[in-house]
Structure 1
Amino acid sequence: MASSAQDPTPTWFTPKRLLMIFCVINTLNYVDRGAIASNGVNGNLEICDDSGICTAATGIQGDFHLSNFQDGVLSSAFMVGLLIASPIFASLAKSHNPFRLIGVGLSVWTFAIAGCGSSFDFWSIAICRMLVGVGEASFISLAAPFIDDNAPVEQKTAWLATFYMCIPAGTALGYVYGGLVGGQFNWRIAFWGEAILMLPFPILGFIMKPLQLKGFTPMESKLIPTSNECGEVFLIDGEMLAGDQGFIRGSKSPSILRNHITRFSKDMLELLRDQVYVINVLGYISYNFVIGAYSYWGPKAGYSIYHMSNADLLFGGITIVCGICGTLAGGLILDKMTSTISNAFKLLSGATFLGAIFCLIAFCFRSLSGFIVLFSIGELLIFATQAPVNYVSLHCVKPNLRALSMAISTVSIHIFGDVPSSPLVGILQQSSFPAQDHINDWRKTALCLTSIFFLAAIIWFIGIFLRSVDLFNEPDDDQSSIRREQRRPLLEDTSYEA
């Protein structure tokens, strides 16, 4: 009955290799985000100067004659699918194997990316970009819990940091990849190349023996026959049903849908009642509000304040280097401190507070060299939060809520953080300061924006004093009737050698 759950893990499939596979997938996700924003893929409309000399239209914008608004929609269209599908995949993980769900999501991603390369107008590519977000949603929600399950206890945040380090690294590679392939060949080939690179991973997700997340019942354990005086009894999703009730219930799809909705509502209520989780996400929203506006307005502010001719390159370079180094450093430091929720809040609050000070002073400097040095230190500290903030989201909830925890965190930081921040900063820039004082108003806008980091630091500081319990080993109530070996991670072994 439990033989499939007790099968030995494939000898080649070690935790380090799992981490490596997830890092490659995460990098490809962000290569795509960087590529669509690159000049080689995104392109521009035909531009003619006063003398009548015209520059040919290039890329997506040139081929489809997109307005700047339509072009901007394409860069963020994936978020529609991501925000809708993330909670759905997280909820489905309770009734379907999470590893298979990642395979499904990556399949959608691969076909959607290939569709982007084959698109013929604005709406066709916009729909494909939304489906890219749907495909990414399963991976975003479920990859981190898999890593958390299988990382060595003393290196959990370092492994998470390695995973999240792929975000700035992938974005940077995407700019280069999109520029080279789109510029030398065609923007369509850039998308098709991404699809080919990703194709082995959804295949792996289906042909591999499925891996099981801690806290989630294996599919073969969803239906467990037992016996009593009245005959055969079945355990389905934690409920004991006699005789053929299980099969009758299984045939009623409205009942199944209602059960899914009820379970999702119950899980959401449990998350919202968790003070540690709410405080962590509120701080993350404030943090992401600033980061989102930095990424959009940073180059323009730098150009206006310091007259940078290469503001895109400078801000991009600082963000990439500090993003990679800061993310790794944050994970390593928390492991050295001993990974606890309280220590994570201390690191989150302290790093954000110090980073905010350096960034504020940087924007007050008149010299470009002084700005670069101080802003780099500030961003290094700011990015040290990536591993700790996700560690808290994973460990302040029961194992069976981790996927939903990650999904709701992702949805929240986008809906309330980086999505509204860019237009709000634009409104502040236009309405609050006189147009003729262009240099000073961008400086003041940057200072106002950066000060929100202090709000994030204060919120996370409150988290230090909350009663926090690491629930990583907390059993799920619905699994009390299932043998322990049936719900252990398949990668739970003593060897971490690649």
Structure 2
Amino acid sequence: MALAPTPSLLAPQPSWFTPKRLLAIFCAINLLNYVDRGAIASNGVNGSPRSCSDSGTCSSGSGIQGDFNLNNFQDGVISSAFMVGLLVASPIFASLAKSVNPFRLIGVGLTVWTLATAGCGFSFDFWSITIFRMFVGVGEASFISLAAPFIDDNAPVEQKTAWLGIFYMCIPSGIAVGYVYGGLVGSYLTWHWAFWIEALLMLPFAILGFVMKPLQLKGFSHTEPEKALISVETDCLGDEVASIGKDGSIEATKASRSSDADSYSDHLMRVLKDMKCLLVERVYVVNVLGYIAYNFVIGAYSYWGPKAGYSIYHMSNADLLFGGVTIVCGIFGSLAGGYVLDLMNSTLTNAFKLLSVATFLGAIFCFAAFCFKSLYAFIVLFAIGELLVFATQGPVNYVCLHSVKPSLRPLSMAISTVSIHIFGDVPSSPLVGVLQDHINDWRISALVLTSVLFLASGIWFIGIFLHSVDRFNEDSEHSIPIPDRSSTTPLLEENSAERSV
């Protein structure tokens, strides 16, 4: 008579968490992350620089820029400073997911985020707020690397892209809410309170990451409850990393037998091997390259949008107007992109088709919007353009998750995030600031920036013709078998038979 499968081979099912609750919590956290980005870009928090007129009358400025007397380049650096921590910490958190429970890693990251955001409110000069913004990025790193794989694991098969679209909908809507939130806080309190309130709102989620029974990701297996996760796989170079013994124990193989598996050098070598596995996936690389060009534009839009709108169209309240348009288009665009791809059949080729077409049409409308002098024409055309551009959020991350092995998904999300920021919105905000300082014409600056969306569309168009394999949906790609809801998997039955009395 065969014994029942050991608990270590089955994914734990925490009683409180359901897939929909997990999605709701992660959406709330993601929303707060991007509210912070929108708030620091808003006129209410970011403010305006000190200036002097020809008559000799000087203005003290307002917000962060006025209090710290920042030029446009320094102001752009503050917007990108958190990316430094994000870029450094993302691969670290992703690689730690193989030895530490990913759910606990999210709790650690949110705690750092909460403390660093509160510190931004206490900053007293350019360098102090820059350093705190870097630690905000460190705190966010664990979440952005691990949240999407958790959602992909728990989403219904026929709605995976739609769920990702709901999650990434929080990016444009969060930034938009941040514009409005920053404007209101700046009007009735001071810019410091914007950061302190954010920290208080995030605190319960940071605590939740430690007190709730943790989840685990597919492609990883618990060796001991709440202690370690070990990936059981053969990597892209053909090296077996670990295996499950007949008694259910984890057996180290090859290099891990001959040296300390927890040593820094072994860990670093494993990360480098995993990164090499990502770089040989052409579908993944092309997708990220298109995402870089796309994010170059979106990052600069999110930071300089209110200022450009105020200058070009003399908007009475640019924060509220840009926030309102972005939140509506971001929500409907992100949701529509996910649902359309699910209706088309969620394949990597169809994802590239949607990415290329939506971005190309969105670029046309956004470019045309800045060519008109009428505010009403601008709002209509730009809204349509944003609706199309934000439709890419679900599909582009679907490709990142499904073009690599399941156990590489955290690292794939981390490297994607690192790449789109270090080559995308990190340089775009300062570069647009430098361009504007030289030409002093926001309309031309906006047109130059928007043209980069055509490049993104072209890169994603190439992806349509690449041979693509959905790694996640191939049973052979799963190092840990995924139990079927209605029956036991063949591998589990085999392991049970081997333990039979």
Structure 2 length-normalised TM: 0.82
Q: How does 1:382-421 map to 2 (within 5 A)?
A: 382-421=389-428
Give the aligned residue type for 2:202. M
1:462 is the counterpart of 2:473: no
Could you list the structure 1 runs, at least 4 aligned residues long, displaced by more than 6 angstroms after superposition: 45-57, 237-240
Q: Which residue of 1 aligns with 2:348?
A: 341
| Partner Cα separation in structure 2 for residue 6 and residue 211 of structure 1 | 12
Q: 1:476 to 1:79 in 2, by over 3 A?
A: farther
- Superimposed CA distance per residue, residues 66-101 of structure 1 (whole angstroms, 9 cap, x where no aligned partner): 565544433221111011111111111122111111
Q: Secondary structure at the match of 2:470?
A: coil
Partner of 1:235: 251
The residue number in structure 2 matching 1:265 is 272
Q: Does 1:157 align with 2:161?
A: yes
Which ranges of structure 2 fall in alignment gaps of 5 or more residues? Answer: 231-241, 487-501
User: Aligned partners of 2:373 and 2:64: how far apart in 1?
Assistant: 39
Indicate whether 1:375 and 2:382 are aligned.
Answer: yes
* Distance 1:237-1:131 versus aligned 2 partners, 3 A rule: farther
1:303-382 to structure 2, matched below 5 A, reads 306=313, 308=315, 310-382=317-389
Identity of aligned residues (%): 71
- Distance of 1:277 and 1:46 partners within structure 2: 46
For residues 292-316 of structure 1, what are the alpha-carbon distances to aligned partners after superposition, in whole Å with 9 as ceiling and x for unaligned?
3333454555556555555554444
Pick closer, same or farther for the CA change 1:121–1:353 going to 2, 3 Å. closer
The DSSP-based 3-state class of the residue aligned with 1:212 is coil
- Quick one: structure 1 residues 183 and 454, their matched pair in 2 at CA, closer, same or farther if it must change by over 3 Å? closer
Corresponding residue for residue 16 of structure 1 = 20
Q: 2:210 & 2:114 partners in 1: Cα distance?
A: 14
Closer/same/farther in 2, CA of residues 43 and 310 from structure 1, 3 Å limit = closer
Which deviations, in whole Å up to 9, do the C-alpha atoms of 1:463-496 show, x marking residues without a partner? 111111111144688x86x6x46xx6xxx969xx
The answer as to whether partners of 2:243 and 2:253 remain within 8 angstroms in 1 is no
Cα distance in structure 2, aligned partners of 1:70 and 1:424: 11
Q: Which amino acid aligns with 2:165?
A: A
Give 3-state SS (helix, strand or coil) of 1:217's partner: strand
2:73–2:433 contact (8 Å) kept in structure 1: no
The residue number in structure 1 matching 2:452 is 452
Q: Shift of residue 2 of structure 1?
A: 4.2
Partner residue of 1:249 out of 255, 260, 269: 260
CA-CA distance at 1:199 after TM superposition: 1.4
Matches within 5 A, 1:37-436: 37-43=41-47, 59-61=63-65, 69-220=73-224, 222=230, 235-236=251-252, 241=257, 249=260, 256-299=263-306, 302=309, 306=313, 308=315, 310-425=317-432
Contact kept in structure 2, 1:35 and 1:174, CA below 8 Å: yes
By how many angstroms is 1:443 displaced?
5.0
Deviates more, 1:70-79 or 1:277-286: 70-79
Contact 1:102–1:139 (Cα < 8 Å) also in 2 = yes
In 2, Cα distance between equivalents of 1:306 and 1:324: 25
The amino acid across from 1:146 in the alignment is F
Contact 1:97 1:219 in 2 (8 A): no
SS of 1:235's partner is: strand
Cα distance change on mapping 1:214 and 1:195 into 2, 3 Å = same
Cα contact 1:400–1:476 (8 A) shared by 2: no
Letter of the 1:329 counterpart: A
Task: Report the TM-score when normalising by structure 1.
Answer: 0.82
Q: 419-428 or 314-323, which moves further after superposition?
A: 419-428
Deviates most, 464-473 or 416-425: 416-425
Structure 1 residue identity aligned to 2:144: I
RMSD (Å) for aligned C-alpha atoms: 3.4
Closer/same/farther in 2, CA of residues 355 and 49 from structure 1, 3 Å limit = closer
Aligned-residue offset at 1:356? 2.0
How many residue pairs align between the two structures?
A: 467
In 1, the alpha carbon distance for the partners of 2:49 and 2:304 equals 22
Deviation, structure 1 residue 413: 1.2
Question: Which whole-Å CA distance do the structure 2 matches of 1:420 and 1:46 have between them?
Answer: 24
**Deviation (angstroms), 1:239:** 6.8
The CA distance in 2 between the partners of 1:428 and 1:400, in whole Å, is 42
Aligned in 2, Cα 1:419/1:381: closer, same or farther, shift over 3 Å?
same
In the alignment, residue 290 of structure 2 is paired with which amino acid?
G
Distance 1:373 1:356 in 2: 14
Given that 2:76 and 2:430 are in contact with CA atoms closer than 8 Å, whether structure 1 keeps it comes out as no
